[in-house]
Chains A and B, each alone.
Chain A
């Protein structure tokens, strides 16, 4: 069983690899992050044991299977003759081949398993050749279904690419060593670990290739796809466990520096022994986490992504800006986009404020318009203050009238709390002109005066309540009228006297 698991894992991984390279036309699907809809597909395919081969062929695994089918035979024939490249290719192919078998009839693999496990656990130094020799011959021959699958038009391409990977694989001995440790840690699942381990170099190759980032996506999606497999058999559940780990590992290799960091979650994912259902969930969780991680790493792997025609779009739940197609997804450009949106929003707001800004197109011109407007406003203020400074001194009294009006208004609107001090202060300030106010006060009803005189403490409140309305037409809205009609102004002075000088005058009268 363990061996089966191994094979499955490898098969799936091999499928991913091949998928990442051979099936680049699927980028549309890959771009949409929530590719959960692929899961049911896969699930159905897995459930149906009979059409499974066809399903595999149609699905991601098909290239791997084809690879295996075609290459394994020669590889098994002359093991020693194979170079490292071909050996690696054969290894991948083997895994691809074995996986369909294990799915369909796991008992077939029993023979191979013994040999294979040994191959995989030891093979860290030289995995490809052993695999080829041991596995290729037995299983592929047993499995007739692979023969039609092997006829794959895109195979030549893939084979070439795989061969390219081998060279890279040799360089990645360090990562393999890490995985060896992992395999030792878990004896039962050592097979699985080895499977993932075998993968990691593959993933390394992927990342080193151009379309690596796409491979991330595919891997994550495949992990989800594989999770439904768990319902079929235990073996496959173990595969699903591996898959997130593999995805993370691939991402880890996106950034060479982050390798160690990622190795930890990978090991975790593998070592979690879990029933099928739990596995599926774990796989998805891992998938999400890896996807986020991949997003973070996209920054570091920016250069690679630029080469990538269609960069992956990881789920960005926490950032509310989504990159549209063809837009960069690294955090810098996202932040830049957010900033630009903010700026354009404010510009729109300013456009409404500044007259004549609507006709202008272009932000620079709009800003020019805004600058002109601000300048003109500032000049207007200067001009007006100059005008106020040169106002005829004979209008001095009117200032007080105006002020009183304004004070009334403000006090009327804020009767109690706002300017308790103002009344006294103003009364103080205005005392020097009671001669204007007093004669006018004659027309004012005496009872109010009496009230004021009787209750000076409440005077302020009375003033505010009684005088709310008249001053309203004062400065703010009807100044031209007031200006033209001196009588109104006098009236205001009267009111002023009523409001402010009245208490004093009344008190003086009464006292």
Chain B
């Protein structure tokens, strides 16, 4: 009950939980679940997924390359789809992110001598924004991304358990 870990306001977990729950509430408030048709469910799923990703990235903020890349991706997609539930912020930041990612693209990729180029490329596909990273950055970002994903999974699992008892 008095677990200080959960009380820590600055922890990634609490930030993510706050954002994600808010986003969930918004989604449900906007479209009260009426139909259980697969398309409806799928749309809802997409929205929740995007909300989860976005709240994760926002709680990480732009400190990490992967969160920047994810935010940028989400924003561009939400712009394209004109997704009404996407909390839009100024387009300037997305441009900045774009610029930054293009800058990172210029970093030299010389992991030829490492011996696991294929694996590294595969990992690049998984980590958002990984295409532009060199191997050192990639491993760094992967570590952080794994941490965040674990947190996300924990929180979402708890929420899901809470809903579906």
Interface residues of chain A, those whose CB is within 8 Å of chain B, are 336, 339-340, 342-343, 346-347, 349-350, 353-354, 363-364, 367-368, 370-371, 373-375, 377-378, 380-382, 384-393, 395-396, 398-400, 402-403, 406-407, 409-410, 412-414, 418-419, 429, 469, 472-473, 475-480, 482-484
Instruction: Give min CB distance, B77 to chain A, whole Å.
Output: 16
With contacts A367-B119, A384-B156 taken as known, whether A483 is within 8 angstroms of B161 at the C-beta atoms is yes
Q: Assess whether A385 is in contact with B142, with CB atoms less than 8 Å apart.
A: no
| Chain B residues positioned under 8 Å from A403 (CB to CB) | 21-22, 24-25
With contacts A396-B32, A403-B21 taken as known, whether A381 is within 8 angstroms of B49 at the C-beta atoms is yes
Chain B: which residue is nearest A346 at the CB level?
Answer: B139
Q: A367-B120, A409-B14, A473-B1 are in contact. List 9 more A-B contacts (CB 8 A).
A: A346-B139, A377-B149, A378-B126, A381-B49, A381-B149, A389-B45, A392-B163, A395-B163, A403-B25
With contacts A346-B143, A347-B139, A475-B158 taken as known, whether A389 is within 8 angstroms of B126 at the C-beta atoms is no
Q: Assess whether A388 is in contact with B162, with CB atoms less than 8 Å apart.
A: no
27 contacts between A and B (CB under 8 A): A340-B114, A343-B135, A346-B139, A347-B139, A350-B139, A350-B146, A367-B120, A370-B142, A378-B126, A381-B153, A388-B159, A388-B160, A389-B45, A389-B47, A393-B33, A395-B164, A396-B32, A398-B162, A399-B163, A403-B25, A412-B7, A413-B7, A469-B2, A472-B2, A472-B7, A476-B3, A478-B1
| Chain A residues positioned under 8 Å from B3 (CB to CB) | 472, 476-477
| Chain B residues positioned under 8 Å from A340 (CB to CB) | 114
Q: Assess whether A479 is in contact with B158, with CB atoms less than 8 Å apart.
A: yes
Considering the chains assembled together, what is the distance between the CA atoms of A478 and B165 in angstroms? 13
| Chain B residues positioned under 8 Å from A469 (CB to CB) | 1-2
Q: Assess whether A353 is in contact with B147, with CB atoms less than 8 Å apart.
A: yes
Interface residues of chain B, those whose CB is within 8 Å of chain A, are 1-3, 6-9, 13-14, 17-18, 21-22, 24-25, 28-29, 32-34, 36, 41-42, 44-45, 47-49, 51-53, 110-111, 113-116, 119-120, 122-123, 126-127, 135-136, 139-140, 142-143, 145-147, 149-150, 152-153, 155-165
Considering the chains assembled together, what is the distance between the CA atoms of A375 and B162 in angstroms? 25
Considering the chains assembled together, what is the distance between the CA atoms of A478 and B2 in angstroms? 11
Q: Assess whether A377 is in contact with B146, with CB atoms less than 8 Å apart.
A: yes
> Is chain A's binding surface mostly helix, strand, loop or mixed?
helix
Chain A: which residue is nearest B147 at the CB level?
Answer: A353
With contacts A392-B164, A429-B25 taken as known, whether A402 is within 8 angstroms of B18 at the C-beta atoms is no
Q: Assess whether A353 is in contact with B146, with CB atoms less than 8 Å apart.
A: yes
Q: Assess whether B162 is in contact with A482, with CB atoms less than 8 Å apart.
A: yes
| Chain B residues positioned under 8 Å from A385 (CB to CB) | 45, 48-49, 51-52, 156
Q: Assess whether A476 is in contact with B13, with CB atoms less than 8 Å apart.
A: yes
> Is chain B's binding surface mostly helix, strand, loop or mixed?
helix
| Chain B residues positioned under 8 Å from A347 (CB to CB) | 139
Considering the chains assembled together, what is the distance between the CA atoms of A407 and B136 in angstroms? 38
Q: Assess whether A350 is in contact with B126, with CB atoms less than 8 Å apart.
A: no
Considering the chains assembled together, what is the distance between the CA atoms of A162 and B90 in angstroms? 76
Considering the chains assembled together, what is the distance between the CA atoms of A343 and B109 in angstroms? 13
| Chain A residues positioned under 8 Å from B6 (CB to CB) | 409, 472, 476-477
| Chain B residues positioned under 8 Å from A363 (CB to CB) | 114-116
Those 5 A-B pairs whose CB atoms lie nearest each other, nearest first: A413-B9, A483-B165, A346-B139, A367-B119, A389-B45
Q: Assess whether A475 is in contact with B119, with CB atoms less than 8 Å apart.
A: no
Selected from B7, B22, B116, the residue in CB contact (under 8 A) with A367 is: B116
Q: Assess whether A477 is in contact with B25, with CB atoms less than 8 Å apart.
A: no
Q: Assess whether B44 is in contact with A479, with CB atoms less than 8 Å apart.
A: no
Selected from A354, A364, A381, A398, the residue in CB contact (under 8 A) with B146 is: A354
Q: When A and B form their complex, what is the total count of cross-chain residue pairs whose Cβ atoms lie within 8 Å? A: 195
Q: Assess whether A387 is in contact with B164, with CB atoms less than 8 Å apart.
A: yes
With contacts A364-B116, A406-B17 taken as known, whether A374 is within 8 angstroms of B48 at the C-beta atoms is no
Q: Assess whether A390 is in contact with B41, with CB atoms less than 8 Å apart.
A: yes
Selected from A342, A389, A390, A392, the residue in CB contact (under 8 A) with B136 is: A342
Selected from B33, B122, B139, the residue in CB contact (under 8 A) with A396 is: B33
Considering the chains assembled together, what is the distance between the CA atoms of A368 and B121 in angstroms? 11
With contacts A363-B115, A399-B25, A400-B25 taken as known, whether A476 is within 8 angstroms of B126 at the C-beta atoms is no
| Chain A residues positioned under 8 Å from B157 (CB to CB) | 380, 384
Q: Assess whether B29 is in contact with A429, with CB atoms less than 8 Å apart.
A: yes
Q: Assess whether A402 is in contact with B119, with CB atoms less than 8 Å apart.
A: no
Considering the chains assembled together, what is the distance between the CA atoms of A354 and B51 in angstroms? 25
Q: Assess whether A414 is in contact with B162, with CB atoms less than 8 Å apart.
A: no
Considering the chains assembled together, what is the distance between the CA atoms of A418 and B143 in angstroms? 28
Instruction: Give min CB distance, A466 to chain B, whole Å.
Output: 16
Considering the chains assembled together, what is the distance between the CA atoms of A441 and B145 in angstroms? 43
Q: Assess whether B158 is in contact with A396, with CB atoms less than 8 Å apart.
A: no
| Chain B residues positioned under 8 Å from A378 (CB to CB) | 126, 149
Selected from A364, A377, A410, A482, the residue in CB contact (under 8 A) with B115 is: A364
Considering the chains assembled together, what is the distance between the CA atoms of A193 and B18 in angstroms? 80
| Chain B residues positioned under 8 Å from A429 (CB to CB) | 25, 29
| Chain B residues positioned under 8 Å from A342 (CB to CB) | 136
Selected from B22, B47, B119, B160, the residue in CB contact (under 8 A) with A384 is: B160
With contacts A398-B163, A402-B162, A472-B7 taken as known, whether A382 is within 8 angstroms of B136 at the C-beta atoms is no
Considering the chains assembled together, what is the distance between the CA atoms of A363 and B135 in angstroms? 12
Q: Assess whether A371 is in contact with B49, with CB atoms less than 8 Å apart.
A: no
Q: Assess whether B159 is in contact with A475, with CB atoms less than 8 Å apart.
A: yes
